[in-house]
Amino acid sequence: PKEIFLKDYKFPDYYFDTVDLNFSLGEEKTIVSSKITVCSRVEGSSSPLVLDGHDLKLISIKVNSEELKDKDYHLDSRRLTISSPPTGTFSLEIVTEIYPQKNTSLEGLYKSSGNFCTQCEAEGFRKITFYQDRPDIMAKYTCRIEADKSLYPVLLSNGNLIEQGDLEGGKHYVFWEDPFKKPCYLFALVAGQLESRDDIFVTRSGRKVSLRIWTPAQDLPKTAHAMFALKAAMKWDEDVFGLEYDLDLFNIVAVPDFNMGAMENKSLNIFNSKLVLASPETASDADYAAILGVIGHEYFHNWTGNRVTCRDWFQLSLKEGLTVFRDQEFSSDMGSRTVKRIADVSKLRNYQFPQDAGPMAHPVRPHSYIKMDNFYTVTVYEKGAEVVRMYKTLLGSQGFRKGMDLYFKRHDGQAVTCEDFFAAMRDANDADFANFLLWYSQAGTPIVKVASSYDAEARTFSLKFSQEVPPTPGQPVKEPMFLPVAVGLLDSTGKDMPLLSVYHDGSLKSFTSNNQPVYSTVLRVAKKEEEFVFHDIIERPVPSILRGYSAPIRLESNLSDSDLFFLLAHDSDEFNRWEAGQILARKLMLNLVADFQQKKPLVLNPKFVHGLKSILCDSSLDKVFIAKAITLPGEGEIMDMMEVADPDGVHAVRTFIRKQLASELKSELLTTVENNRSPEEYVFNHSNMARRALKNVALAYLASLEHEELTKLALHEYRTATNMTEQFAALAAIAQNPGKTRDDVLADFYNKWQHDFLVVNKWFALQAMSDIPGNVENVRNLLNHPAFDLRNPNKVYSLIGGFCSSPVNFHAKDGSGYQFLGEIVAQLDKINPQVASRLVSAFSRWRRYDETRQTFAKAQLEMIMSANGLSENVFEIASKSLS
C-alpha cells in the first residue's frame, strides 16, 4: 500500500465548476451519470486529468460531447486517466454502473434496512463515480434521482428541491440543486420509505427554515429530542458565534447501518440511528446527552467544515477539532460546564493519551497516512479540540470570537489549512503565540513537572516548570511546547488569594483587571525549564495548577496528599477539585497494585474514605459532581501509569477499593439511593440527570457487596424504574455478580426489549464488558444470537468493542481474548474494513503487557497480517502496531 505525505501536497491542475449528477436507482444495479464543467488551473496546461474511482464499472466517457476512444484514456482499479484533455474549460460526461446492494463497506452508495444512503467522507465519492476525490475541489452540484415510487417514495439530496414528478413504469424523479460550492465528501443521497418530523426555525434575520428529521414511520415518536437539540444548536450558533443557517431546508436522516456517529453532508445530515432516536423508556441520560452533542456537532459543521473546508485530509482537525470544541461549548452551555469538562478530559485521558503513547501516535495534523479513515482519531478530534480551547484560554472569549470572525471573513467558500486558522486568531488579536504551531506538528503528550516553594521572608511563592515531550514514531526528539497554564493560589481558609504580581523572564508583571484584584491567571510556559515567582504572598498558599485543564498535558506536581485533600475540599475551580480527588485515587491505586503484586494484604487509607464521605454528604455540591468525584479512575488509566501494565492486579485493586468504600459508606450510600429516586416523569435537564447519576453510582457501589438485601434493592430499582437510565443502571449493578439473579434479570431485559435494536445493543454491550471470569465463551455464544449481525457496526461495537474494553477478559493470560479478536478481525475485514481496523486498534499497545501476553497478541497481529486480500485499513494499523 502507498503512503501519502503532507509534504507532497500539490494544487490540482484542474478545477471543477459545476457537477450535474443523475442517479437511476435499481434493484440489481444503479446507473450514475455525471456531467462536470472542468477548467484547467494553468492556462493552456495539458497535463493528464486523473480521476479517482473504486469498484466502478465504466460505461461511457465523453469530452465536449464526444465519446472518448480507448487510446484517449487509461483505466486501472483505482484511477481513470484522460491523457490529454482540451485546454480551457470543457465538459466531461461519465456514466458508471455501481452495485449498492452488494456494498457492505458502508462507504459510497449502499443500502441500509432497504433504503439507499451515502457516506462519502473521507474518500467514498470515488465509489459512486470517477472524480477528483479531494476536498480542495469545490463545485456547485445538481442531483437528479429516479427510482421506483412505491419502494422509494422519498428521494433526498443536498440543497433545494427544484422539481419532482412521476415517470412511466411506476417510477418517479426529483431534481435537487445546491447553491453552495462544496467538496464531494459533502455530497449525499437518500432514497427510501421514510417519514419526517417537521418543524420550523426562524433565524435571527427572520428567515424561515424547514427542519425535517426522517426515520421509518414507527420511529418518529423518538425524534422529539433530536429536533429539540437541532433548534437549540441553531440558536446557540447565532448567539455565540453570530452564525446563521444559510438554506431554507435542513434534513436529518437516521439510518441503522453507519460506520461512525453521523455525517454533516450539506443540508442533508445522515445519522447513525442511535444518535437520533430517544425516548425516556429506551434511551439513557448518556444517550440523550450524546444526541444533543452530535446533533450540535453536525449542525455546527455547516460553517466549520462546509462553508470553510479543509484543503487536504491532513488538515482534518481544522474542521473536526474546531467543531468538537464548538459542540463541547454548546453542551456546557446547555448543562453543567464543570461536568462536561470532566467528561471531556476523562475521554482525552482514557483514549487519546494511550494513543499518543503508542505505535499509532500522530500529530493533530498527521504527516502521512495510508488510509485516511484510520485518522479519524481521538488525537485529531479530542486533542484537536484542546488545541482550539488553548486559543480561547490565551485570547479570552472576545479575542477568540474576533479570531473566528476574521477566519470566516477571510475564508468563506475556501478550502484552507490549520495555518490559516492560526493566522486568523493571531491577526485578529495582534497576538504573540510563540511556537504554538508545534501543537499541530508534534505528537506525544507533554509531561510537565512543577515544583512549588514558598519563601516566608521574601513573601514570594515560586512555581518551577520543566517539560518534556516523549519520543513518538518518526519523532525521536521534541522541542518544548507553548503551554497556557491557568493558576490560582488558595489561602489557609481555602479562599483564592489575590494575585498582585509575578516575576518571570527578568521582569515583574503586575496583575490588575479594571483595578479589581485577579484571583486566577494564565501563565505562558514555553521553555524546557521556566520559573514564575508570585510576589506579596503573605502566607504559604496551596496552588491550584492547570485550572479547568487549560492544556492537554500530563502534570506532575510535588503537592502533598494533605495539599490534595485541601484542594478536594476547597478549590474554587471545580474541575481542579475533582482532579485533586482523582490524583489521590490514582496514587492510592498504584500503591495498592504494588502491594497486590507483592502479595501484601490490601488496606484502604482511612483518609481517602473520609475525603469521599465528606463529598458524598455535602449537600451544597452539584450531584453529578459528587457522582464523578466518588467514581474511581478507570482501570485503563491506572494501567497506563505502570511500567508493565497488569490488568489482573489493577482489576483486583479497583474491585477491592469499591467494595471497601461500599462497606464503609453503606449507610450514606443507602440514604443517597433513597433520597434520589426519580418522580414518575422523565425530564432531560441537569438537576434530574444529576439525581439519577448520583443514585446510580451509589446503587452500583452497594450491589458490589453481593449482600442479599442489597441485591434485592437493586432488583427493586430495576423493576420499578420508569426510564432506561435507572433501569439499565440497576441491571448493570446486578450484572456485576455472577449467579441466578443476574441470569434471570438479563433474560427478562432481553424479553422486554427484543423488538428495539438499540436497546438490544445495550444488552450485548453490558454482557460483553463483563469482568466475570472466562466471559469470552459467553461472548462467542452471543455471536450466534439471532439479534447479532456482523454487518451492522453498532452491533459489532457493542459486542466485540465492548469485550475489548474489559481488561481482565480481553487481556486474559491464556490469550483467549486476543485469539477471539484476531478471528473476528480476519472475518470482518472482508465485510467492512473501516470497522475491522477500528477493532484491530485494541491490539496496538500490546508491548505494554508482560511477555506471555505479548507473545499471544503478537501472534494474532501476525496472523491478521498474513491474511489474503487484507484491506489497506487493517494493514496500516496492524503493521504499525508490529513495527
571 binds, among Zn ion, ligand HT7, none (CB under 5 to 8 A by kind): none
- Judged by CB under 6 A, which stretch of 63-71, 257-265, 613-621, 770-778 contacts ligand HT7? 257-265
20 binds, among ligand HT7, Zn ion, none (CB under 5 to 8 A by kind): none
Query: What are the CA-CA distances from residue 343 to residues 373, 624, 865 (Å)?
Result: 25, 11, 36
Q: Give the nearest distance from C-beta 234 to ligand HT7 in angstroms.
A: 17
Rounded distance, CA 677 to CA 688, Å? 10
259 binds, among Zn ion, ligand HT7, none (CB under 5 to 8 A by kind): ligand HT7
- Judged by CB under 6 A, which stretch of 116-124, 238-246, 398-406, 488-496 contacts ligand HT7? 116-124
Closer to ligand HT7 by Cβ: residue 40 or 265: 265
- Judged by CB under 5 A, which stretch of 221-229, 318-326, 394-402, 649-657 contacts Zn ion? 318-326
DSSP reduced 3-state for 261: coil
Residue 310 is inside which H or E element, if any? strand 309-310
Q: Give the nearest distance from C-beta 300 to ligand HT7 in angstroms.
A: 9
Residue 452 is inside which H or E element, if any? strand 447-455
Range 501-506 contact pairs with CB under 8 angstroms and sequence separation of 24 or more = 501/534, 501/535, 501/536, 502/532, 502/533, 502/534, 502/535, 503/460, 503/532, 503/533, 503/534, 503/535, 504/530, 504/531, 504/532, 504/533, 505/530
Q: Interface with ligand HT7 includes 260 (CB under 6 A)?
A: yes
Q: Interface with ligand HT7 includes 247 (CB under 6 A)?
A: no
Closer to ligand HT7 by Cβ: residue 259 or 338: 259
Closer to ligand HT7 by Cβ: residue 289 or 533: 289
Measured CA angle at 699 (ends 697, 703), to 5 deg: 120
530 binds, among ligand HT7, Zn ion, none (CB under 5 to 8 A by kind): none
315 binds, among Zn ion, ligand HT7, none (CB under 5 to 8 A by kind): none
Closer to ligand HT7 by Cβ: residue 856 or 875: 875
Which position among 834, 844, 860, 873 is part of the footprint of ligand HT7 (CB under 6 A)?
834
In three-state form (DSSP H/G/I as H, E/B as E, the rest C), the secondary structure along 181-228 is EECHHHCCEEEECCEEEEEEEECCCCCEEEEEEEECHHHHHHHHHHHH
Rounded distance, CA 41 to CA 239, Å? 40
Q: Interface with ligand HT7 includes 263 (CB under 6 A)?
A: yes
Q: What is the DSSP letter of 804?
A: H
Q: Interface with ligand HT7 includes 119 (CB under 6 A)?
A: yes
Which position among 219, 298, 356, 646 is part of the footprint of ligand HT7 (CB under 6 A)?
298
Which position among 20, 146, 264, 717 is part of the footprint of ligand HT7 (CB under 6 A)?
264
Q: Interface with ligand HT7 includes 420 (CB under 6 A)?
A: no
Helix pair 816-829, 851-865: axis angle to 10 deg = 20
Please tell me the number of Cα atoms within 13 Å of 454 on its side-chain side: 15
| Cβ contact 269:119 at 8 Å | no
Binding map of ligand HT7 across residues 343-382, x = CB under 6 A, - = no contact = ------------------------------x--x------
- Judged by CB under 5 A, which stretch of 2-10, 153-161, 323-331, 412-420 contacts Zn ion? 323-331
Closer to ligand HT7 by Cβ: residue 122 or 388: 122
Q: Interface with ligand HT7 includes 688 (CB under 6 A)?
A: no
727 binds, among ligand HT7, Zn ion, none (CB under 5 to 8 A by kind): none
- Judged by CB under 5 A, which stretch of 35-43, 314-322, 404-412, 485-493 contacts Zn ion? 314-322
Rounded distance, CA 353 to CA 383, Å? 9
Query: What are the CA-CA distances from residue 367 to residues 121, 235, 309, 386, 782 (Å)?
Result: 19, 37, 19, 19, 41
Closer to ligand HT7 by Cβ: residue 122 or 821: 122
121 binds, among Zn ion, ligand HT7, none (CB under 5 to 8 A by kind): ligand HT7
**Footprint on residues 133-172 left by ligand HT7 (CB under 6 A):** none
Closer to ligand HT7 by Cβ: residue 124 or 633: 124
C-alpha cell at 209: 427554515
724 binds, among Zn ion, ligand HT7, none (CB under 5 to 8 A by kind): none
C-alpha cell at 639: 494501567
DSSP reduced 3-state for 836: helix
Closer to ligand HT7 by Cβ: residue 264 or 726: 264
Size of the site for ligand HT7 (CB under 6 A): 15
Q: Give the nearest distance from C-beta 188 to Zn ion in angstroms.
A: 15
Query: What are the CA-CA distances from residue 351 to residues 101, 354, 841, 848 (Å)?
Result: 35, 6, 11, 15
Which position among 121, 329, 756, 829 is part of the footprint of ligand HT7 (CB under 6 A)?
121
Q: Give the nearest distance from C-beta 427 to ligand HT7 in angstroms.
A: 28
Query: What are the CA-CA distances from residue 505 to residues 449, 480, 526, 527, 530 (Å)?
Result: 18, 16, 11, 11, 8
DSSP reduced 3-state for 786: coil
Catalytic residues: 298
Rounded distance, CA 120 to CA 185, Å? 5
Chain Cα centroid distance, residue 680 = 33
Q: Interface with ligand HT7 includes 267 (CB under 6 A)?
A: no
Q: Interface with ligand HT7 includes 259 (CB under 6 A)?
A: yes
- Judged by CB under 6 A, which stretch of 254-262, 458-466, 532-540, 720-728 contacts ligand HT7? 254-262
Q: Give the nearest distance from C-beta 178 to ligand HT7 in angstroms.
A: 18
196 binds, among Zn ion, ligand HT7, none (CB under 5 to 8 A by kind): none
Q: Interface with ligand HT7 includes 118 (CB under 6 A)?
A: no
Q: Give the nearest distance from C-beta 825 to ligand HT7 in angstroms.
A: 18
Q: Give the nearest distance from C-beta 301 to Zn ion in angstroms.
A: 6
Q: Give the nearest distance from C-beta 107 to ligand HT7 in angstroms.
A: 7
Rounded distance, CA 428 to CA 402, Å? 6
Beta bridge partner(s), residue 269: 252
The CB-nearest residue to ligand HT7 is 260
61 binds, among Zn ion, ligand HT7, none (CB under 5 to 8 A by kind): none
Q: Give the nearest distance from C-beta 136 to ligand HT7 in angstroms.
A: 17
Size of the site for Zn ion (CB under 5 A): 2
Q: Which amino acid is at 571?
A: D
Measured CA angle at 558 (ends 555, 559), to 5 deg: 95
Rounded distance, CA 354 to CA 805, Å? 13
Q: Which amino acid is at 137?
A: I
C-alpha cell at 752: 422486554
Q: Interface with ligand HT7 includes 320 (CB under 6 A)?
A: yes
Other CB atoms within a 10 A radius of the CB of residue 549 amount to 22
Rounded distance, CA 36 to CA 32, Å? 13
Helix pair 872-882, 833-840: axis angle to 10 deg = 10
Q: Give the nearest distance from C-beta 264 to ligand HT7 in angstroms.
A: 5
Query: What are the CA-CA distances from residue 748 to residues 75, 659, 756, 764 (Å)?
Result: 57, 27, 14, 14
Q: Which residues bind Zn ion (CB under 5 A)?
A: 320, 323
Q: Which residues bind ligand HT7 (CB under 6 A)?
A: 119, 121-122, 259-260, 262-264, 297-298, 301, 320, 373, 376, 834
